[in-house]
Amino acid sequence: DAKTTQPPSMDCAEGRAANLPCNHSTISGNEYVYWYRQIHSQGPQYIIHGLKNNETNEMASLIITEDRKSSTLILPHATLRDTAVYYCTLTYYFGNEKLTFGTGTRLTIIP
């Protein structure tokens, strides 16, 4: 069974904020939420991760609900180059943990 669930596809207008949801209702206390994206024909690229608090970096923001059962990745001003498949995954604190990528959300930025 998948540990995370995401919508299969979303569209977003260029310049608008893209909000990508992820459900992880069985997350355990020592699991981090990680987001990666994969642009066509390339390897996945790390975006951001978090444990409990909301996080922001130069690429995106991550909002994690208080019960940690869901999260939202926010791309504040989407560009055409953000068109990609976005994966939400969980990783244990102590690392050495394989990544389990589901089928992700295919985000299409519309000009």
Alpha-carbon distance of 76 to 16, in angstroms, equals 7
For other proteins, the binding residue among 9, 16, 46, 52 (CB under 8 A) is 46
- Closest CB to other proteins among 11 and 97? 97
Interface segment toward other proteins; rule CB under 8 A; list 9-17, 21-29, 66-74, 91-99: 91-99
- Would you count residue 101 as binding other proteins (CB under 8 A)? yes
Which residue from 59, 47, 50 is spatially nearest to 90, judged by alpha carbons?
50
Alpha-carbon distance of 7 to 23, in angstroms, equals 10
Per-residue tokens: 53 = 């608090």
- Would you count residue 97 as binding other proteins (CB under 8 A)? yes
